Amino acid sequence: MMKNLLMCVAAAGLLFVSLGRVQAAPQDEHERWYQERDTYYHVEGWHARFFERVRQDLDHVQEVAFSGADEDRIVETKQRLDDLQRKHAEGRFDQPELDETIASLRRVVDDNRLSKRDREMLTDDLDRMRDYREHHESWR
């Protein structure tokens, strides 16, 4: 009887520990994603693929976005970023389109239901886009 009780307690303990690990894994993965994103900006040459990086940030946010208007704003902004990335790769600068894209991303930041961390991340992207607007000639 005592042996069965000990086995049940041990099994319950293992179950509790493994459930804790299952719940921690997504959080660890999420944290790792943010760390990799931050590291991206410390590597030389990130300017050339900047719009692609912002698009990846939006992909990340879209995974947890509410459907409807929240997701629509993200999709529209990603389409604009694709156009800017293409033009940037071709050596072209289109300020009116950049301004529209900045406004589109601003709407995502202002109007979407985002976590504090995701809002800060996209605000950082906005700041970098504004920096690009001011110094685009040196972003090669």
pLDDT of the residue at 44: 87
Same domain (yes/no): 23, 51:
no
In total, how many domains does the chain have?
2
Q: What is the reported pLDDT for 17?
A: 45
**Helix 50-62 to helix 95-111 angle, to the nearest 10 degrees?**
30
Q: Do both 15 and 69 map to the same domain?
A: no
Could you tell me if 35 and 95 lie in one domain?
no
For the record, the structure tokens of 94 come out as 């289109």
Is residue 54 located within the same domain as residue 32? no
Let me know whether 95 and 113 are in one domain.
Answer: yes
Query: 57's torsion region: left (phi>0), alpha (psi -120 to 50) or beta?
Result: alpha
pTM > 0.85: no
- Please indicate, yes or no, whether residues 12 and 58 belong to a single structural domain of this protein: no
User: Whose CA is closest to 79, among 110, 49, 58?
Assistant: 58
* Same-domain check for residues 7 and 73: no
pLDDT of residue 82: 92
- 105 is in which domain, residue-wise? 47-138
